[in-house]
């Protein structure tokens, strides 16, 4: 049985706007069920442990998908999500892969979290895939490869586009733009049309562009583990 670690944000403040943020429901729910239905064992973790904050926008009527509706009816999954482990208490050696759901939260906490940075470096060094979707490729901002370069340097990657961030009206609010960061770190960035699914696999790195890319990114990770 494959063991997959899912790492969620603990950050719930959208800059200094007074608005709430967190993880994006579809980006958790779709991969969670893709992994569960494949027979994988899933462990959830976050920097603070416990219930991760849900981005309220991801819970509105227009953002519902088959996976989010399934989650809303699944009290067992809700209980698992409410009791995430503290990230510092998990070890990459116990897992075959790690998946980071997005939402704006990771831009503030996971992108800068030393435990997450070390986890990503350890997973890649051990030949284990690392997947991140939408804003979660932010977690690749600081991890370094063995040669001291960014783990995305020379790698084909994607993530939330500058134009998608502009459409969300948050270009001036976020601490950095995912597309710009990946490019500045030497990533070979590609994208599809805004809000269309786009997933890139390059070696052990799997990245998805936006919420629509969550399910395909999860499937790409399962394929990498097969």
Q: Hey, where are the domains in the chain? A: 3-225
pLDDT tens sequence across 139-185: 999 999 999 999 999 999 999 999 999 999 999 999 999 999 999 99
* Strand partners for 50: 84
Instruction: Name the pLDDT band for 91 (thresholds 50, 70, 90).
Output: very high
**Do the Cβ atoms of 135 and 168 come closer than 8 Å?**
no
Give the alpha-carbon dihedral of 88, 29, 192, 62, to 10 degrees: -130
CA 166 centroid distance within chain:
20
> Is the distance from CB of 32 to CB of 26 less than 8 angstroms?
no
pLDDT value of residue 77 = 97
User: What DSSP state is assigned to residue 51?
Assistant: S
Give the pLDDT confidence score for residue 69 in this predicted structure: 97
Average pLDDT, the chain: 97
Mean pLDDT of 81-100: 98
User: Can you tell me the distance from the alpha carbon of 2 to that of 8, in angstroms, rounded to the nearest whole number?
Assistant: 19
What confidence score (pLDDT) does residue 168 get?
95
> Would you state the pLDDT for residue 96?
98
Query: Alpha-carbon distance 198 to 213, whole Å?
Result: 6
The pLDDT of residue 108 is 98
Q: Are 198 and 178 in contact (CB under 8 A)?
A: no
- The CATH class for the domain spanning 3-225 reads alpha beta
Q: How far apart are CA 186 and CA 120, in angstroms?
A: 17
């Amino acid at each position: 049985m494959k063991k997959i670690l899912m790492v969620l944000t603990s950050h719930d403040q959208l800059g200094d706007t007074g608005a709430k943020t967190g993880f994006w429901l579809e980006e958790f729910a779709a991969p969670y069920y893709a992994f569960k239905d494949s027979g994988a064992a899933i462990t959830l973790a976050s920097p603070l442990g416990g219930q991760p904050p849900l981005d309220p926008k991801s819970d509105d009527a227009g953002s519902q998908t088959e996976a989010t509706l399934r989650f809303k009816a699944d009290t067992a999954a809700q209980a698992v999500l409410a009791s995430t482990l503290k990230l510092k208490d998990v070890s990459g050696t116990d897992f075959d892969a790690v998946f980071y759901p997005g939402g704006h939260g990771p831009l503030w906490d996971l992108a800068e979290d030393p435990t997450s940075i070390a986890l990503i470096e350890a997973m890649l060094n051990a030949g284990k895939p690392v997947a991140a979707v939408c804003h979660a490729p932010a977690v690749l901002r600081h991890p370094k490869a063995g040669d001291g370069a960014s783990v995305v340097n020379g790698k084909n990657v994607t993530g939330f586009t500058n134009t998608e961030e502009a459409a969300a009206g948050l270009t001036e609010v976020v601490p950095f733009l995912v597309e710009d960061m990946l490019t500045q770190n030497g990533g070979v960035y590609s994208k599809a049309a805004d809000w269309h699914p786009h997933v890139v696999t390059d070696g052990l790195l799997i990245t998805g562009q936006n919420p629509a890319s969550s399910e395909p990114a999860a499937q790409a990770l399962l394929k990498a583990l097969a």
